[in-house]
Each structure stands twice: as C-alpha cells, then as structure tokens.
A and B are shown apart, each in its own frame.
Chain A
Amino acid sequence: MTPLLQIDDLTIAYRLADGSGFQAIRDYSLTMAPGEIVGIVGQSGAGKSTIGKAVLGLMGENATIEAGRIRLSGHDITRARDVEAIRGRKVGYIYQNPMTALNPVLTIGEQLLESIVTHTGRRGAAARAYAVELLEQAEVPQAAERLSKYPHQLSGGLCQRIVFAIAICARPALLIADEPTTALDVTVQKAVLATLERMARKEGIGILLITHDMGVVAQMCDRVQVLRRGELVEEGATRQLLLHPAAAYTRQLMAAIPPMDRRLDRFDVIERQADSPGRERGIAYLRTARDGFAPSGSALLSVRGLSKTYPAPPRSGQDAFVALKDVSFDVRAGEVLGIVGESGSGKSTIGRCILGLQQPDAGAAITFRGRSLQPGRRDRAALARSLQCIFQDPYSSLNPRMSAAVNMTYALVAHGLVAARDARRLAGDLLEVVQLPRDAAGKMPHAFSGGERQRIGIARALAFRPELIFCDEPTSALDVTVQAEVLNLMKDLREMLGLTLVFVSHDLAVVRQMCDRVLVMSKGEIVEAGAADEVLLRPRHAYTRDLLASMPRMAET
C-alpha cells in the first residue's frame, strides 16, 4: 500500500537576519498510512510546526528545504509549485488558535463557501446546503444560522469546529492539526477532539497531530513521534511509547507532566542550582520585613459577598453579565489557595477585585489583615505593596521598552522603597533568586524566553516583599518542561519565604501539585471548596467531576 504521507530525510533551514543559517529540522523522516493518526510531540522550538507547514509549503520566505523529499500518496510535493495544487484539496490544515485562524472581517459563510466553491465545484444553493451539512458534521449547533455570523460572535470551541468544517470540505486524505485545542478550555477541548477524531475515522482521513500535550496524544493518536531541536528522538505506538519511553529525553518530558494521582515534592527536571553571594543577599532581602507578617494559619484575606456585574450595552437587548455572584472565602497566611474553573467562570475577576483593579458591586467586603480594601482609601498604596500579582502572559506583562532590571524595580523606586542607586544591585540579586544570571539585568524582555520572562515576573512580584501574591494562570503559556521548572521555583520560594499564594489555574493537575486548598468556580459562583486532595480526588459536585473527567489522561491508555 502506498503510504499517505512519506517524508524522507527532510532538512529545513532558516536564513537568519545576520546571514547565517539555522537548521530547524534535520534528517527527519515519517511514514504515515492512510487513515492513521500520528502525533508529533516536543517543546516549543522543537520544529513541530515547521514540519506541518513544510507539507503544505507554507513556511516563511526565509525557510528553505535543504534536503529530503515529501510525498503525498506517492506524488512528490517537495517543491512549492507542486504543493499549491494539494492545499485544501488533498491536505487540510487546522490552525492552532481558532480565534485568529478565521478572518475577523468576513462571515463564517463566506469563509466556508469560498473553499467549497474552489474545491468541489458546487455553486449557489448547493454550496450552501453542503456548508450546512459540513457544519452539522462538525457538530456546530444551529448550523444554518452561523453562516451569517462573524468569528468574534462565536466561542473558541465553535470557531475551531468551523475550522474543521473548512478543512474537510474537499474530503482531503490528510489533515494537519497544529495544536488544535491548546487555546481551548479543558471541557471544550475534550468534545472538540472527539469530533475531530470521529470525522477523521468516518472518512478515513489521516491526521498529523502536532501538540505539546501528552494527554491529547494519549487520547487520539495511533502512533507518536518525539521531536527535540529539529531531530527525531523516538517513535512508536502511542501506548508503548508513553508507558515505556526508551529515550532519556522522552522520560524527562513525561516527568515534567504534573500527575493527578499524587503530589510531588518537586518535578524531576534538570535545573541550574547555584548558591552565590547575590542569591543569598536576595533571599535575605526578601526575608526581612516578614517578621511583621500575619502568623501562619490566621485569616490574611477575607472576601465576603463579592459580586461583579457588567451591565449590558444600552438597548442591546442582552442581559447584564454576572461575572461573580456572592463569592465568599478566606485566605489563610502561609497557604496556597487554588481557584479552578473554565474561562469565563470568574477566576481572574476575583483577582482583579482583590487587587483593586476593578470595582466590585456594592455590598462586597474584602478585608486584608482586618482592614477593609476599598478603592480610594488613603492607605491603598501601602496595601498595594502587600498584594502583588504574577500575570498569565509573560510576553505582554513586561514593559518591552524597559530592561529586565527596570521592569523589576521601577515600581519599588516609585514607592520610595528602594533608592534608585541600589535598584540595580537588588535587581541582580533577585534575578539570581529566580535562577537567572545576574548580568541578564540589562537585557530587554524580548531577549528572554517565555519561561525566563515568567521568572522575571515572579521576581518583580517578590521584590515588594508582599504578604500575598495573586498568581493568574502563571504557567499556562509555558511548555510542560518549562512549566515544571517554574513550578519548582515557586515551590522552593514558597518554602524559603513562607509565601501566601492565591493560585488561579484551569489545569487541575497543576493545582493538585501546588495548592493546599482549592475553590472550584463555575459561572461566577463557588460550587465546591475544600482541601485540594479532598476536592480533586473525591469531588462531590457534578461540575467538579465533569472538569476532572474532561482531562486528557494517559493512565487509561
């Protein structure tokens, strides 16, 4: 039987701005049978997406195929001229982020119909009927009505289903799915993957699934390849590879995945560990002033009757949106309180209300060490020092025009807590505390990787010596191994400094690893609260059970 996709000894190089070349893919080979689902896993930068784009000839203009051949059902499609004929027709592409894959200014209908008209020859009413049929296959509810909608009017899950419909409209033999569910909520992710798999199996469509998520691989793939820095590390049947990885790198990758069934002291990843005078000085700095902190176990922050309503636009006919409804909880000094829930459940809104970035509805009482946190109060500035935040997106949470050092210390200097001439040394010390080299202080944010930026973000929050840090999905934008490193760092810091953290995450396994107690949020309400072990292992509420059941898991493979 002719393989569906055969890639032989592929080498792809990018020409860099300084004229040198960089081989993103080296001697890579893959053979895929028709109808097979093959996963490619690896960290970001491993070259996974480059392979997918190379098959479709969609690499950037500075990338060239230096060696190797790509054949689809026996036909050579290595050259750009040959590949154009198969795009959309023989090979469909599913883009990572469904919210950005669809053109924002064109209707769903136009974007689906243009593919149908191009590839199937159907016109007018026949094309429309087929469009509705495709949307129904992709399990889009009220399919006919969606055609006149724009992408921003639909949820991410729906957008991804529409992308599926577009990708399969010409009944291609192969789908390339590049991180198809990374941008989606866990419960949505499960359903969307199930639809994708159902469509592919029914039509006998092969899928090349590019992902960093081992859970997704376990759920979907027949075979899996592990990629590292452009080279194939290991390849095998999914179950075999996940349960008995042969390569050291694969084992390391597996060790970085937060397990659900037990709590680790630390993740087993290789780290730089060096004690230096600067690091010790930094830790000493962070420890001082802690004597005045609330005794461990006492209620540090208490939230009572917190609601937040966003009024509907006037005359829009919509109802006001209730982001939070009567939420009450305590944070005890020294604990890590997890808040879990899907996007839109109100997790981040809690943080914004606590930090004073948003005004809650009347009637809410937020007290910190017995003092009320009200906007406009004179001691707000003092309280702001005690409450800090670590943000979700390390790419946008650092000021791109300030060096790492200035990013960490400018607010400290503005508050008058540190003299400007001491700020540079403190920044160096703090960098060492978060295990970055101190001479990185002068570099600009763009020179750092995502994980390094998040370390800078952590250092910035710590610099105030706050009593409570609100961590808003601090690792959700990071690779699994980088996440493991950052989580290890946070565990270490918490142990050394006795930090009190409110840890928001949609990833239950991460919460399991990090948190003492956990609140489960759904639609602005707390549906379940308790000790993390209790709630996550023996959930009482149906929603928590749903959330747990939606997690892609390997243990079942």
Chain B
Amino acid sequence: MASFIIRRIGQSAVLLFIMSLLVFVGMYMVSDPVAVLAGDDFTAADREALARSLGLDRPLPLQYLAFLGNVLTGDFGQSYVYNRPVLDLIFERLPATLEMVCLAMVLGVAIGIPLGIWSGLNRRHPATRAVSFATTVGYSIPNFWQALLLILVFSVWLRWLPASGRGDTVPLLGAGWSFLTIDGLRHMLLPAANLAVAIVCMQTRLTRSGTEEVMFQDYMMFARSKGIPRWRLVNRHLLRNILIPIVTITGLELGALIAFSTVTETVFSWPGIGKLLLDSIYRSDRPVVVAYMILITVMFVAINLVVDILYALLDPRIRYS
C-alpha cells in the first residue's frame, strides 16, 4: 500500500507539470492581460511599460520557466487585478465553497443512499416508481433555473431563508466560516440545497441499481437463508457490497462541486472560489487562473487517492502492489 501511494504521488507530479503547462499556454493564447488592464488613455509606450512590469514582454517559454521557478519556491505570483498574492486570494474564498459543498454532500448522501436502498428493496412499490421519476427530473433540471425557483419559493413567498450572501461568519484557522452560526447556516441552506438536489438524485439512482444487482447475488440468498435480522442483511451484507461505485461517484462529485459550483455561487452571491475563477477569467488575471487550476488538480488527485484507499478498505479482494 505504501509503495502504491508513493507511486501515485510521483505520477501526480507529472500530471501537475502537464496541467500547469496546458493552462499557462492556454491562457497565453486566449487572453491579453495588457489589453484588459490598460486604460483607454494608455499610449503604446504605457502599454509596453505595463507589459514589462508584469514580465509579459518576454517570450512564452521564458515566462513559463520563471513561473515554474517561483512555484517551486511556493510563490504563485501576484494577481494582476487585486495586486495581492494569488494564494491569499484563493484561500480567502475557499472556506465558503468548502462548507457549502460539504453541506450539500452530506445532505445528498444522507438522503440519497437510504432512499436508493429502500427503492431497490421495494421494486414493486408504487412509491419506487415515483422516486424513479422524481430523480430523473431532479437530475435534468438546469441548475440556475432550479436556484431561481428555490429563491422564489423559500425567500420570496415563504420568507424562510435569505436569498444571498454568507451571513455571520466566525473566524477559525485564519478564515471566516458560516457553519458555526445559525445565521450563517440559514444563508448556506439554499445554495447547498441547490447543489444537493442533483447529488440526491445521482446517489439514489446509483444506490438503487446497486441494491437491485446485489440482492440477486448468491451470497444475499444464502444470508437470507441464515435467518439473520433484516438490519444486518442491509447494513452489512448489502451496503458493504454497493459502496464501491458510490464512493467513486461521491469522490468525483465532491471534486467537481468544489471546483465548479460557479453557477450556484453566482446566483446566490456566495463569495466562493468558483466566482473568483469566473471573475479572473473575464479579467485575464492569469496568475489566479493558473494557480487555481493547479490547486484543483492537486485536489482531484488527493480525492482519487483517498477513493482508492477506501476501495481497499471496503473490499478485501482489492490489494495494491
């Protein structure tokens, strides 16, 4: 297992290098920071001076090498727009996204897995058909439209929950968190619910199909013949066997949501990193975009590593060598 982890980290280093190169070259091709940053009254000489001050006058390979050298010393550079270190910007915004996504994930898993098991075990129950229909619809609704609907119902009509902002935050580990205050949680509920709908639907369908498949396995028949209590049948025999695909998808979704819940953050004015990414792309803030993509890659690699380790813990037949 240890050698597997070490090998995986080595592979990740290569992946990160390729990723940084792609993003760097990509950003170079699609955007010109000078054009965005320069005022209307800038002369050609002013523009040249601006480019020189940002180091953009050098050829691309040199720019990239300089960037790479800085990154290796832990310096991702300064944002062109905010004129502050990129990492500070990202870590300021990250907690907002993290807590919202985690709440969404908890909601999704806590509702989706039991619902999926229930409908898998009661295939002929009328409610199962309703669940099946609802999850198909829920997964297909466009995210932004669903967000507007949530705001309309819970903020405008019922006036139960606030429609935007983060509410009160409490500082912890050098960042502000909303989940520690009632007001913060109330603000978080709608954006998290907006993300959770798709997760619930995905988890329900995944769990249901897994349950239907596993219930037909010989070992489930044998376990039933043993006359053991039903909760054991479901919690140990069934659940352990359907968790692997669920863990895979949960890991992938977690990563995707942290990286790209831009739409939800925008609609609910939730100051997370998704919004930062969008703003930075618009403003050609190349250092922010590049650092962001690299951090996201690191996160995906880490999540996948955790998922792989979980595989081995869940299924004794899986061994990494």
- The yes or no verdict on A and B being binding partners is yes
Inter-subunit contact A106/B237 (CB<8 Å): yes
A261 within 8 Å of B by Cβ? Answer: no
| Nearest A residue (CB) for B319 | A313
A14 within 8 Å of B by Cβ? Answer: no
Q: A residues 85-102 with Cβ under 8 Å of B?
A: 85-89, 92-93, 95-97, 100-102
Question: Of B217, B221, B232, B241, which contacts A58 at CB under 8 A?
Answer: B221
Take A86-B227, A89-B227, A118-B227 as given contacts and tell me if A105 and B316 are in contact as well, using a CB distance cutoff of 8 Å: yes
| Nearest B residue (CB) for A86 | B227
Mask, A70-112, CB within 8 Å of B = 1, is: 0000000000000011111100110111001111111000110
Take A105-B241, A152-B317 as given contacts and tell me if A118 and B218 are in contact as well, using a CB distance cutoff of 8 Å: no
Inter-subunit contact A106/B317 (CB<8 Å): no
Q: How far is the CA of A106 from the CA of B226 in the complex (A)?
A: 15
Q: How far is the CA of A250 from the CA of B81 in the complex (A)?
A: 90
Inter-subunit contact A95/B218 (CB<8 Å): yes
Mask, A283-318, CB within 8 Å of B = 1, is: 000000000000000000000000000000111100
B52 within 8 Å of A by Cβ? Answer: no
| Residue among A56, A92, A111, A316 with most chain B CB within 10 A | A111
Q: B residues 236-292 with Cβ under 8 Å of A?
A: 236-237, 240-241
A61 within 8 Å of B by Cβ? Answer: yes
Inter-subunit contact B227/A102 (CB<8 Å): no
The SS class assigned to the B binding surface is helix
B53 within 8 Å of A by Cβ? Answer: no
Take A89-B227, A105-B315, A150-B317 as given contacts and tell me if A100 and B232 are in contact as well, using a CB distance cutoff of 8 Å: no
Inter-subunit contact A101/B228 (CB<8 Å): no
Inter-subunit contact B228/A61 (CB<8 Å): no
A166 within 8 Å of B by Cβ? Answer: yes
Inter-subunit contact B321/A102 (CB<8 Å): no
Take A114-B232, A150-B317, A316-B321 as given contacts and tell me if A87 and B227 are in contact as well, using a CB distance cutoff of 8 Å: yes
| A105 / chain B contacts, CB cutoff of 8 Å | 240-241, 314-317
Q: How far is the CA of A114 from the CA of B263 in the complex (A)?
A: 49
Inter-subunit contact B228/A115 (CB<8 Å): yes
| Residue among B217, B219, B237, B240 with most chain A CB within 10 A | B219
Inter-subunit contact B228/A114 (CB<8 Å): yes
B142 within 8 Å of A by Cβ? Answer: no
Q: How far is the CA of A40 from the CA of B218 in the complex (A)?
A: 21
Mask, B32-68, CB within 8 Å of A = 1, is: 0000000000000000000000000000000000000
Least Cβ–Cβ distance between B142 and chain A, in angstroms = 35
Q: How far is the CA of A103 from the CA of B219 in the complex (A)?
A: 5
A190 within 8 Å of B by Cβ? Answer: no
A458 within 8 Å of B by Cβ? Answer: no
Least Cβ–Cβ distance between A93 and chain B, in angstroms = 4
| Nearest B residue (CB) for A166 | B226
| B225 / chain A contacts, CB cutoff of 8 Å | 56, 58, 87-88, 92-93, 95
| B236 / chain A contacts, CB cutoff of 8 Å | 103, 106, 110, 114
Inter-subunit contact A101/B219 (CB<8 Å): yes
B223 within 8 Å of A by Cβ? Answer: yes
Inter-subunit contact B232/A97 (CB<8 Å): no
Mask, B188-228, CB within 8 Å of A = 1, is: 00000000000000000000000000000111011111111
B124 within 8 Å of A by Cβ? Answer: yes
- Please give the number of chain A residues whose Cβ is less than 8 angstroms from any Cβ of chain B in the complex: 36
Least Cβ–Cβ distance between B192 and chain A, in angstroms = 32
Question: Of A102, A110, A170, which contacts B219 at CB under 8 A?
Answer: A102
B229 within 8 Å of A by Cβ? Answer: yes
Q: How far is the CA of A360 from the CA of B123 in the complex (A)?
A: 50
| A89 / chain B contacts, CB cutoff of 8 Å | 227
Q: How far is the CA of A539 from the CA of B221 in the complex (A)?
A: 43
- Please give the number of chain B residues whose Cβ is less than 8 angstroms from any Cβ of chain A in the complex: 24
| Residue among A102, A105, A314, A315 with most chain B CB within 10 A | A105
Least Cβ–Cβ distance between B208 and chain A, in angstroms = 16
Inter-subunit contact B229/A118 (CB<8 Å): yes
| A214 / chain B contacts, CB cutoff of 8 Å | none
| Nearest A residue (CB) for B244 | A105
Least Cβ–Cβ distance between B3 and chain A, in angstroms = 8
Take A95-B222, A100-B219 as given contacts and tell me if A88 and B228 are in contact as well, using a CB distance cutoff of 8 Å: yes
| Nearest A residue (CB) for B243 | A105
Least Cβ–Cβ distance between A160 and chain B, in angstroms = 12
Q: How far is the CA of A291 from the CA of B75 in the complex (A)?
A: 79
| Nearest A residue (CB) for B239 | A105
Least Cβ–Cβ distance between A31 and chain B, in angstroms = 23
Question: Of B218, B219, B226, B316, which contacts A114 at CB under 8 A?
Answer: B226
| A170 / chain B contacts, CB cutoff of 8 Å | 227
Inter-subunit contact B228/A118 (CB<8 Å): yes
| B217 / chain A contacts, CB cutoff of 8 Å | 100
Inter-subunit contact B221/A119 (CB<8 Å): no
| A111 / chain B contacts, CB cutoff of 8 Å | 223
A373 within 8 Å of B by Cβ? Answer: no
A163 within 8 Å of B by Cβ? Answer: yes
Question: Of B223, B227, B316, which contacts A84 at CB under 8 A?
Answer: B227
Question: Of A56, A106, A152, A313, which contacts B321 at CB under 8 A?
Answer: A313
| A102 / chain B contacts, CB cutoff of 8 Å | 219, 222
Least Cβ–Cβ distance between B245 and chain A, in angstroms = 14
Q: How far is the CA of A118 from the CA of B233 in the complex (A)?
A: 12
Question: Of B124, B226, B317, B321, which contacts A118 at CB under 8 A?
Answer: B226
Inter-subunit contact B226/A115 (CB<8 Å): yes
Inter-subunit contact A101/B321 (CB<8 Å): no
| A163 / chain B contacts, CB cutoff of 8 Å | 222
Least Cβ–Cβ distance between B84 and chain A, in angstroms = 49
| A150 / chain B contacts, CB cutoff of 8 Å | 316-317
| B321 / chain A contacts, CB cutoff of 8 Å | 313-316
Q: B residues 280-321 with Cβ under 8 Å of A?
A: 314-317, 321
Least Cβ–Cβ distance between B218 and chain A, in angstroms = 4
Least Cβ–Cβ distance between B233 and chain A, in angstroms = 10
Inter-subunit contact A87/B224 (CB<8 Å): yes
Least Cβ–Cβ distance between A298 and chain B, in angstroms = 47
Inter-subunit contact A104/B226 (CB<8 Å): no
Inter-subunit contact B315/A103 (CB<8 Å): no
| Nearest B residue (CB) for A103 | B219
Least Cβ–Cβ distance between A453 and chain B, in angstroms = 22
| A152 / chain B contacts, CB cutoff of 8 Å | 316-317
Q: How far is the CA of A314 from the CA of B224 in the complex (A)?
A: 40
Take A105-B241, A105-B314, A106-B240 as given contacts and tell me if A97 and B218 are in contact as well, using a CB distance cutoff of 8 Å: yes
| B218 / chain A contacts, CB cutoff of 8 Å | 95-97, 100-101
Least Cβ–Cβ distance between B120 and chain A, in angstroms = 13
| Nearest A residue (CB) for B238 | A103
| A100 / chain B contacts, CB cutoff of 8 Å | 217-219
| Residue among B123, B226, B228 with most chain A CB within 10 A | B226
Mask, A148-180, CB within 8 Å of B = 1, is: 001010000000000100100010000000000
| Nearest A residue (CB) for B216 | A60
Q: How far is the CA of A457 from the CA of B126 in the complex (A)?
A: 44
| B241 / chain A contacts, CB cutoff of 8 Å | 103-105
| A87 / chain B contacts, CB cutoff of 8 Å | 224-227
Listed A/B pairs (13) with beta-carbon separation below 8 Å: A58-B225, A86-B227, A87-B224, A92-B225, A95-B221, A96-B218, A100-B217, A101-B221, A101-B222, A103-B223, A104-B241, A114-B226, A150-B317
Known interface pairs A95-B218, A111-B223, A115-B226; 12 further A-B residue pairs with C-beta atoms within 8 A, sorted by A's residue number: A58-B224, A93-B225, A100-B218, A102-B219, A102-B222, A103-B219, A103-B236, A103-B237, A105-B241, A106-B237, A114-B226, A314-B321
Interchain residue pairs A-B with the least CB separation, the first 3 = A88-B227, A87-B227, A93-B225
The interface of chain B, by Cβ under 8 A from chain A, is 123-124, 217-219, 221-229, 232, 236-237, 240-241, 314-317, 321
